[in-house]
Amino acid sequence: MQVISMTRGKIRQDYINGQEIIVKQSSFDEVRKIEQARNIFKNRTIILDGKDFIFHLPRIYDYKDNQIYMEFLSGNNLEIDLRTSKNRENAVKITNILFQYMYDNQIYWGDFAPRNIMIDTDRQSINLCDFERGIQSNITSKEFLQNYAYEEYAAFLFPHERIFSEKLNNIFHIDKPLPITMNDIHSNRVKSIIQEKHLPTNQLTTQTIANINKLIILAETPYKINSTPVFPIIDLEQTKDISYQLFAQKVCSIIARQDIIHGHYTRV
């Protein structure tokens, strides 16, 4: 199993008494969130390829010096499988099933992403990792999709492969837009795009933010060059780690027509 982390230096593999483990820099709050999520997923099963799979979260061995020492999870990493033609078709199917399952069962896992999911066919388990955001509560299904999960779900699936029950335009439509200020916005990515597009900060609404999040998803949408899949999210995430301003420039350059106020875009 390959460990994927877009945050460099935060996760490493190690050994204790000959046993392979994962060491992650984090707060004790994540330990608490893992245990809360473990209770939510307890005794839950899901059918994949006609077989019952259980959900499994890493066992926690220790926490000290702001590091979690946890079980090394094995299996096929969904993101790796989505990037490769050999296992891609099955990985697409599994990603769709899991995403719909989380949504239908109101399990609003804030860190839902293919890189955080490993399928262990030998043990028939779905291994889940990364719970810094935990299982969200007191949010609506739209808020979950807009702010947490749909971007990660869509980033490695071509549009025709996404069979999720809710359509993109509906997800990012705000029924009753409310005015907001820059201080209300917590996402540096969103702020950087507002600044890049010189949007009037006294006219921002919740619909503006939804439109920007939709813009990012469209910029990250996979495409092909000579039958070879290209996943823009990889480059965009690396760019973000260097500069949010450069990230905003790249996102906007990918989109030919940018009407953030009304949410109409044309991708290059």
- Per-residue pLDDT tens over the stretch 81-120: 999 888 899 999 999 999 999 999 999 999 999 999 999 9
What's the token pair of residue 233? Answer: 């999210």
CA dist 223 and 153 (Å) reads: 15
Range of the domain at 180: 172-267
Same domain? 184 vs 80: no
Total domains, the chain: 2
Contact predicate 101/53, CB 8 Å: no
Q: Is residue 48 part of a domain?
A: yes
Q: Is residue 40 part of a domain?
A: yes
Which pLDDT score, from 0 to 100, does residue 262 have? 53
Q: Is residue 158 part of a domain?
A: no
Same domain? 17 vs 79: yes
Same domain? 15 vs 108: yes
Same domain? 238 vs 183: yes
pTM: 0.89
Largest CA distance in the chain: 59
149 closest CA partner among 115, 117, 111, 186: 111
Q: Is residue 92 part of a domain?
A: yes
Q: Pick from 86, 119, 136: which residue ends a domain?
A: 136
Residues of the chain with pLDDT > 70: what percent? Answer: 92
CA dist 39 and 170 (Å) reads: 32
Q: Is residue 33 part of a domain?
A: yes
Instruction: Summarize the confidence of residues 50-54 as an average pLDDT.
Output: 96
Same domain? 208 vs 122: no
Across the chain, the runs of DSSP E, i.e. the strands, are: 11-16, 19-25, 45-48, 51-56, 60-64, 67-71, 76-77, 108-109, 117-120, 125-128, 135-136, 223-225, 228-230, 255-259, 264-267
CA dist 193 and 247 (Å) reads: 8
Same domain? 247 vs 193: yes
What does residue 243 show for φ and ψ, rounded to 5 degrees? -160, 125
In the predicted model, is pLDDT for residue 259 greater than 90? no
